[in-house]
Amino acid sequence: MSSQQRDAAIVGIYEYPLRTVGPEASSLRIKAECAIRALEDAGLTLKDVDALYEAGEEGAVHAGIPSLPEYLGLHVGIADTTMAGGASYEFQAAHAKRAIASGKANVALLTYGSTLRRGGTALGSSGRSYAAGYPHPVVNMEEPWGLTLVGDYAMVANRHMHQYGTTSAQLAEISVAARLHGTRNPQAVQAMTDLQFKGTGEITIEEVLNSRVIADPLHMLECCMISDGGGAVVIASPEVARGCKEKPVWVLGGGEAIKYPENADDITFSAAARSGPMAFGEAGVSPGEVDVAMLYDSFTITVLTVLEDLGFCRKGEGGQFVQGGRLRFDAEAKPALNTDGGGLSSNHPGMRGIFLLIEATRQMRGQSTSQVAGARLAVASGMGGRLGSRHAAGTIVLGID
Amino acid sequence: MADIPRPLPNLHELDTQPFWQATKQHELRYQVCNDCQGVVFYPRRHCPHCMSFDLRWEQSKGEGAVYTYTIIRQIGHPVFRARQPYAVALIDLDEGFRLMSHVIVAKEDVDTVKIGQRVRLDWEDYDEVSLPVFRPA
């Protein structure tokens, strides 16, 4: 661990507590509230921020000029609107680390807000892509087939099962672990209550397998929820971090990659097979050392694929790896998975990547509701887009002194 | 709700226009690069393998195998909801390109679709295009 560069640290976090918002909330307001609360958590102010990162979902008031600096009242040099779906915030954290390390920024703010649930979008099963109607070759080749977002991920699961003998019972372990952690997180319990889950207690593998199949082989309890929500993260230079309220959680490494369908491609590998080694290489750590893995759980197969691609186990061995409850926060073996409850049991307002960074930071601070004893290293790996077709993977390695 | 049509390709889209125009004649076309002989799919103007702009169109025999698939059992779109459950698949054509399509079987036989299964091209006709679909060979 000698090569770890301590050139940027997470010093502030905030997770919006509500998963079902009323008419007084908007994505802009949630972004602003989360930004202010995360800065308060750090002991900083809006005036300290010199770099802003957000996914630009609000669009621009005038030709491409980001509107959020004005709304927040920031005078920033860097206004980065990198959009990589659910991986946006891991991409942005990597960018913030580079900007700070090169001396171009001292305090970077990442913020996210969404009212996806209130908007009534059936993201997983509508059968429409974001780009529907827009003349693009991909839309032309794929839109006529009625492939849902769930179905896209399900095609990876079917191929994984065919190629490696993975079973639905193995995939269900991921849902069971997430739910256990969700039951220990009051915000997650409230979320499941507000979203009218049939039950908010622990679930069994059998219950997952007995839930309705949405797109073979994925069952309802293998699919994340649709909620409202938001969050913010503040990343600062070592000089700033030393004066903040909480101990610095170092951004040790970052990696970004894009993958898309190709003829003769093996879709059981994701872009995380490239973003992971990039992040671990920069951090100077190996997957075996990682205490906590915050992996985007849009669906169970997303987690299984990324566990393999990041190198926690070999490709094809993910099914065996997750068996026997080893993903629990209190298991002997590392790493613990999605200790806040994940998208499966805590929140999913559309782009969950920021919560991976937030919960990984809580673990490093010792503040998780499913705290892993002695945790010193965490990985947050976001996945945006569609696993079976084009997607983005962003991986961040975090650690403490 | 019934008058919401099935999403169909936009024939003004430049790169895939020749592909979709050929479907009216029930021809399944793909591109080959004249410089590197690489197969290019989906269609476009340049070769992503070797940076050439010299591509030719070839016609597929329409025979291939299921690379992977899923059975859609819940979808919001009314046209597809009326068809569910149905199999969406990635088909590996013998010429070396992969495309998304349906494997057409009776609803009660939907569980017979399998990875590696050999399939053969068929067509579903619409006004301006035909959709290339596959049936068990």
Task: Give the pLDDT band of residue A126 (cuts 50, 70, 90).
Answer: confident
Is the residue at B59 inside a domain? Answer: yes
Among the listed ranges A1-5, A91-95, A134-138, which one has the minimum average pLDDT value? A1-5
A144 → closest Cβ in B9, B72, B74: B9
Task: Give the pLDDT band of residue A169 (cuts 50, 70, 90).
Answer: very high
What proportion of chain A, given as a percentage, has pLDDT over 90? 92
pLDDT for residue A65: 80
Number of domains in chain B: 1
Residue B15 and residue B135 in contact, taking contact as beta carbons nearer than 8 Å: no
Task: Give the pLDDT band of residue A135 (cuts 50, 70, 90).
Answer: confident
Pairing of strands A51-53, A107-114: parallel
Mean of the per-residue pLDDT values for chain A?
95
Is the residue at B75 inside a domain? Answer: yes
Q: Where are the domains of chain A?
A: 9-119+225-399
pLDDT for residue B105: 98
Is the residue at B6 inside a domain? Answer: no
Chain B neighbors of A127, CB-CB under 8 A? 72, 75-77, 80
Is the residue at B53 inside a domain? Answer: yes
- CATH number 3.40.30.10 given to A9-119+225-399: no
Cross-strand pairs, A295: A381
What proportion of chain A, given as a percentage, has pLDDT over 70? 97
pLDDT for residue A57: 85
pLDDT reading at A2 higher than 50: no
Distance CA A106, CA A195 (A): 39
Instruction: Summarize pLDDT for A317-367 with one digit per residue, the tens.
Output: 999 999 999 999 999 999 999 999 999 999 999 999 999 999 999 999 999
The answer to whether the Cβ–Cβ distance between A159 and B115 falls below 8 Å is yes
Task: Please give the residue of chain B at the shortest CA–CA distance from A160.
Answer: B68
Q: Which residues of chain B have pLDDT under 50?
A: 1
pLDDT reading at A60 higher than 80: no
Chain B neighbors of A136, CB-CB under 8 A? 13
Per-residue tokens: B86:
């149905």
A140 → closest Cβ in B16, B41, B86: B16
Chain A neighbors of B39, CB-CB under 8 A? 263
Task: Average the pLDDT over A29-40 and give the result.
Answer: 98
* B29–chain A nearest CA distance, Å: 13
Q: How many CB atoms lie within 10 A of CB B66?
A: 23
pLDDT for residue A127: 72
The answer to whether the Cβ–Cβ distance between B68 and A264 falls below 8 Å is no
Among the listed ranges A43-52, A59-68, A388-397, which one has the minimum average pLDDT value? A59-68
pLDDT for residue B4: 84
Distance CA A226, CA A116 (A): 7
**SS3 call for B125:** strand
Report how far apart, in Å, the C-alpha atoms of A159 and of each of A164, A216, B92, B115 are: 8, 11, 13, 8
Task: Average the pLDDT over A135-148 and give the result.
Answer: 94
The verdict on B74 touching A (C-beta cutoff 8 Å) is: yes
pLDDT for residue A59: 76
Instruction: Give, for B14, the enclosing helix (H) or strand (E).
Output: none
Residue A270 and residue A306 in contact, taking contact as beta carbons nearer than 8 Å: yes
What single-letter DSSP state applies at residue B54?
-
Instruction: Summarize pLDDT for A198-241 with one digit per residue, the tens.
Output: 999 999 999 999 999 999 999 999 999 999 999 999 999 999 99
The verdict on A103 touching B (C-beta cutoff 8 Å) is: no
What part of B 35-54 touches A (C-beta under 8 Å)? Answer: 39, 41-44
pLDDT for residue B22: 98
Q: Collect contacts of A256-260 with beta carbons under 8 A, ≥24 apart.
A: A256/A84, A256/A87, A256/A90, A256/A91, A256/A94, A256/A392, A256/A393, A256/A394, A256/A395, A257/A392, A257/A393, A257/A394, A258/A84, A258/A390, A258/A391, A258/A392, A258/A393, A259/A390, A259/A391, A259/A393, A260/A389, A260/A390, A260/A391
Instruction: Summarize pLDDT for A365-392 with one digit per residue, the tens.
Output: 999 999 999 999 999 999 999 999 999 9
pLDDT for residue A328: 98
* Complex ipTM: 0.97
The answer to whether the Cβ–Cβ distance between B73 and A215 falls below 8 Å is yes
Polymer length in residues for chain B: 137
Nearest Cα neighbor of A387 from A275, A287, A294, A303 is A303
CATH of the domain at B125: 2.40.50.840
pLDDT for residue B124: 98
pLDDT reading at A128 higher than 90: no
Angle formed at CA A11 by CA A77 and CA A5, multiple of 5 degrees: 85
Task: Please give the residue of chain A at the shortest CA–CA distance from B39.
Answer: A263
Residue type, A152: D
Q: Which domain holds residue B68?
A: 17-136
Q: If DSSP states are collapsed to H, E and C, what string results for chain A?
A: CCCCCCCCEEEEEEECCCCCCCCCCCHHHHHHHHHHHHHHHHCCCHHHCCEEECCCCCCECCCCCECHHHHHCCCCCEEECCCECECHHHHHHHHHHHHHHCCCCCEEEEEEEECCCCCCCCCCCCCCCCCCCCCCHHHHHHHHHCCCHHHHHHHHHHHHHHHHCCCHHHHHHHHHHHHHHHHCCHHHHHHHHHCCCCCCCCCCHHHHHHCCEEECCEEHHHECCCCCEEEEEEEECHHHHHCCCCCCEEEEEEEEEEECCCCCCCCCCCCHHHHHHHHHHHHCCCHHHCCEEEECCCEHHHHHHHHHHCCCCCCCCHHHHCHHHCCCCCCCCCCEECCCCHHHHCCCCCCCHHHHHHHHHHHHHCCCCCCCCCCCEEEEEEEEECCCCCEEEEEEEEECC
Task: Give the pLDDT band of residue A129 (cuts 50, 70, 90).
Answer: low
Is the residue at B66 inside a domain? Answer: yes
Is the residue at B10 inside a domain? Answer: no
pLDDT for residue B1: 46
Chain B neighbors of A301, CB-CB under 8 A? none
Task: Give the pLDDT band of residue A1 (cuts 50, 70, 90).
Answer: very low
